[in-house]
Amino acid sequence: MTHDPDPVSPDPVIPDPVTEPPARGQREWLAAMVATFTTVFLAELGDKTQLAALLLSAQSGRPLLVFLGASLALISSSLVGVLLGRWLARVMPAHQLERLAGLLMVGLSLWLGRQAMLHLTPLPADLPLS
């Protein structure tokens, strides 16, 4: 009498990344990462920090050290923003935080625009500064 061996248990189903969409958590992670990268990358293009890095690299002749220093500075300032944002998210609702951020950006824009106008068009000497 021959004894058939136990059937081999099937291999666990491994999702195929080409045919199956990523899990919800992966999509959310990827969306947050892409949105953050795009926003910060575009916001930093041509700003005074990038121009300072450009000048420091040209003056020092040490582009790798300037890159490392600028990268550490951006990481550190981003960490402050992330930690502050996390704390604010616990303290106030998201819609209030968005309004506050929008008002802050508008206020800073108006203040910087005023500063630029004052430097571009100096006031006559006989007008009081108030």
Q: Per-residue pLDDT tens for 59-101?
A: 999 999 999 999 999 999 999 999 998 998 899 998 998 898 8
Give the pLDDT confidence score for residue 115 in this predicted structure: 87
Residue 58 placed within a domain: yes
Give the domain extent around 52: 24-93
Residue 81 placed within a domain: yes
Give the pLDDT confidence score for residue 21 in this predicted structure: 59
CA distance 52 to 46: 10
Query: The whole model's pTM is what?
Result: 0.53
Residue 66 placed within a domain: yes
Residue 68 placed within a domain: yes
Residue 126 placed within a domain: no
Residue 35 placed within a domain: yes
CA distance 111 to 90: 29
Q: Per-residue pLDDT tens for 4-53?
A: 555 555 555 565 555 565 667 778 889 999 999 998 888 888 888 888 99
| Domain count for the chain | 1
Burial of 123 (0-12, 13-18, 19+ CB in 10 A): exposed
**Quick check: 60 and 66 in contact, CB under 8 A?**
yes
Residue 125 binned pLDDT confidence (cut-offs 50, 70, 90): low
